Structure 1
């Protein structure tokens, strides 16, 4: 039996797959797939190996692509990916997540859809848009997007979503009703005295820690946060980081205290890595302390950014860590971030990175 690792890469011009053996020493790049559609998020079902790619734009429209043979062939469907007649049309699929046979899609303008037939058809999860705060949601820089989908692996009724710029919302009844979960997160762009609203924060990325702790991590436009109670309360963990601003976060597959970030230099200073020196920042104690991991990463003239879904880990031992840049480079670490290699270059802008481990 041969174990392989696939890095699933979404870009502005299609999906790509980087493939390696379990040692992750040599990589082979395949693609582009999905007829060079803009792909915002590419994921895989670890049980079946099915790959899903969500994307589109106002010209293509929204769709979810699917491959059941590790990228050799693809089909796509947008059946049901629409709001009611007269409502603003859906421009694109921004995020995907799957759990126990159901596939979820976050879209722009912000909303949630579910498929129970492996992406062939979709139904609107209307409860989210029925939340009384919906008329007051405001778009972030990329528009009003639902970009983070976190499904509780232990409770099929629970999920969290991140919306720019409306904040984090949670459901415990499979999407029928929702509650904002933003207590403790700032909105520095609001007038003084209104910086901690019930909703309206610009969350950038939301991830769940491994294990049964219920811990969540959030990279926000205005800081880095941890919650140990499913998002009811958030505490700042940005002390020790070079910047409170960034987009991606990636959780370790087994250690709830270990998290990876790639901070940028600020929202109005260029949005590239601080001092143009690339580093992934790692905590091993839940954000109390941080360390910069730089070996193998460019330390001069690195004027790239990393987008909100363009960082991931794999489930091997030691864990692999991956990120893709706005300039089209894919970096990989086979030793939990201690050292890095550039495994692909000159791709279109990388929008997402996820992983799949398969046994042949």
Structure 2
């Protein structure tokens, strides 16, 4: 699980231990060409199938490369997956299962809603879409988002906030609610019925909930009480009971479980990473105070994507260092973010580390010495597109593209000839308040310049409308408008 929305459960239903829901709507099968390129810079899931095939969960669909990142295609609801962004991805052999989520407005309030599940049996060539599974007839998709998926043999398990832990053994034709304990399903009463993360290791299913970690050794048939781990019931416990990610590190014959464990209700709990080598009987805590979203491993090396940077331990957790700001070694494009949502290590021939954030995707093959950044943007100067535009626009400097205490807006433009670029910022009275040296660019280049929304006196701009002028030496001057809001 790579992304968490905190929201209120609005519907409560008490039902039997094994309630089965048969879908009232038909599944739909789609065969449609995907869209070329990446369509979103929000990368919430990364799965390396092999050294050439990488699958991404993004804010605007599922992206796949089959040539190691040289080219990408994106599947959206028009190609047969669910509406909205991808909230979960699972891959087994040639089968892909994904879940989507979208924003819903109810009585002028915004809620996360489940966009359903989609699966492909041919690595994305064709898709079958299923409506969002519900735990009962009185439930809706509102606040019922699937955050993780696991596959054991032919059984698919899903983790949903409102829907709890559910499974299907018939490719999604029917779903069974299966709480990870001996109680009837009631997420309003039992925090362990609010499920966020899953890990399947053979027939063993690890379940991360809002009330700790529960484990079944027999594919979800039974849930021994001694395999229910919380911050309160062990001498060496997990750091917190809100478990948003679980992953497996394998070194020789050793299986090590890592969990992103966040403080829930007890004031003694804390954000951190929890690690066990004895199947949960004792835990060691690391990265205190960090909200982790995802893990990746290369032998004894551990990588953690967190809300405050991409962290690496070279020795299984004993020591940690944070990566410096990611910069593309060719274009000098920067990542302007300190929050990373996904990380994956491709253990094939190339041994590449992939990381995802709200500001794009990056890859390194030499432990972070050199990075290649992949970003989605509309190509300026082509067709009816302007020669330069700014994004995000409107822009909130205190919220978006945060790095080093500043928020950065980008100016995207294209050169037809080699040119030096200068950007000038004007207030509404057309007084120049900032000048940005954009450097020199080669001909026929897609160019990006970032600015921290501060004037020439290093003062953060107030809310309002501003104008910018891009001057390309020997080419011309191009104008645009930006809006700054809190």
Do both share a fold (TM > 0.5)?
A: yes
CA distance in 1, matches of 2:351, 2:232: 31
CA distance in 2, matches of 1:292, 1:245: 12
Conserved 8 A contact 1:127-1:175: yes
- Does the C-alpha gap of structure 1 residues 29 and 88 become closer, same or farther in structure 2, counting only changes over 3 Å? closer
Deviation at 1:85, TM superposition (A): 3.2
Picking from 237, 244, 257, the partner of 2:286 is 237
CA distance in 2, matches of 1:27, 1:106: 33
- Does the C-alpha gap of structure 1 residues 315 and 103 become closer, same or farther in structure 2, counting only changes over 3 Å? farther
Alignment of 1:27 with 2:70, yes or no, is: yes
Deviations 1:168-196 (A, max 9, x none): 2212232234342134899xxxxxxxxx9
Higher relative strand content:
2
User: Which of 1 and 2 has greater Rg?
Assistant: 2
How many correspondences in the alignment? 302
Alignment of 1:125 with 2:174, yes or no, is: no
Alignment of 1:334 with 2:357, yes or no, is: no
Alignment of 1:11 with 2:58, yes or no, is: yes
CA distance in 2, matches of 1:198, 1:288: 17
Q: Which residue of 1 aligns with 2:164?
A: 111
- Does the C-alpha gap of structure 1 residues 251 and 200 become closer, same or farther in structure 2, counting only changes over 3 Å? closer
Deviation at 1:337, TM superposition (A): 4.7
Conserved 8 A contact 1:224-1:244: no
Picking from 205, 212, 216, the partner of 1:159 is 205
CA distance in 2, matches of 1:95, 1:126: 15
- Does the C-alpha gap of structure 1 residues 129 and 333 become closer, same or farther in structure 2, counting only changes over 3 Å? farther
- Tell which has more relative contact order, 1 or 2 (C-alpha 8 A, sep 6+): 1
Give the secondary structure class of the aligned counterpart of 2:250: coil
CA distance in 1, matches of 2:185, 2:66: 48
Conserved 8 A contact 2:97-2:118: yes
CA distance in 1, matches of 2:354, 2:97: 19
- Normalising by structure 2, we get a TM-score of 0.54
Deviations 1:39-78 (A, max 9, x none): 2012321x2x122211235756442111233323322113
Matches within 5 A, 1:341-352: 341-346=372-377
Picking from 240, 249, 255, the partner of 1:214 is 255
Alignment of 1:43 with 2:74, yes or no, is: no
Deviation at 1:128, TM superposition (A): 4.1
Q: Which residue of 1 aligns with 2:302?
A: 259
- Normalising by structure 1, we get a TM-score of 0.70
CA distance in 1, matches of 2:238, 2:84: 36
Deviation at 1:290, TM superposition (A): 1.9
Matches within 5 A, 1:232-311: 232-238=281-287, 244-252=289-297, 255=299, 257-265=300-308, 273=309, 280-294=310-324, 296-297=326-327, 302-307=336-341, 310-311=342-343
CA distance in 1, matches of 2:284, 2:158: 28
Q: Which residue of 2 aligns with 1:316?
A: 348
Deviations 1:120-166 (A, max 9, x none): 44322245472799554459xxxx8522111122xx1x211112x32
Consecutive unaligned residues of structure 2, counting only runs of 5 or more, are: 1-49, 105-112, 263-270, 379-391, 393-399, 401-486
CA distance in 2, matches of 1:203, 1:197: 13
Deviations 1:200-254 (A, max 9, x none): 722232111125423111222311221111222211223xxxx63122232326x
Conserved 8 A contact 1:114-1:125: yes
Picking from 76, 81, 85, the partner of 2:137 is 85
CA distance in 2, matches of 1:312, 1:131: 37
Deviation at 1:106, TM superposition (A): 1.0
Superposed CA RMSD in Å reads 3.7
